[in-house]
A = this chain, B = another copy of it.
Amino acid sequence: MQKYMTRQRRLLLDYLRAHPDVPLSAGQIAADMQDGPISASAVYRNLSDLEAEGKVRRLSRSGSREVFFQYMDAADCRNCLHLSCTRCGRSFHMHALGAAQLVRDVARNDQFQIDRSESVLYGICRECQAAGREDG
Residues of the B chain whose Cβ atoms lie less than 8 Å from the Cβ of A95: 106, 109-110
Residues of the B chain whose Cβ atoms lie less than 8 Å from the Cβ of A115: 86, 122-124
Q: How far is the CA of A106 from the CA of B95 in the complex (A)?
A: 8
Q: Mark each residue of chain A from 40 to 68: 1 if its CB lies under 8 Å from any CB of chain B, else 0.
A: 00000000000000000011111111110
How many A residues face the partner with a CB closer than 8 A? 38
CB–CB B112/A118 < 8 A: no
Number of copies: 2
Residues of the B chain whose Cβ atoms lie less than 8 Å from the Cβ of A66: 65
Residues of the B chain whose Cβ atoms lie less than 8 Å from the Cβ of A126: 111-112
A119 with B118, Cβ < 8 A, contacts A106-B94, A112-B92, A112-B125 known: no
Q: How far is the CA of A114 from the CA of B129 in the complex (A)?
A: 11
CB–CB A114/B119 < 8 A: no
CB–CB B94/A110 < 8 A: yes
Residues of the B chain whose Cβ atoms lie less than 8 Å from the Cβ of A111: 125-126, 129
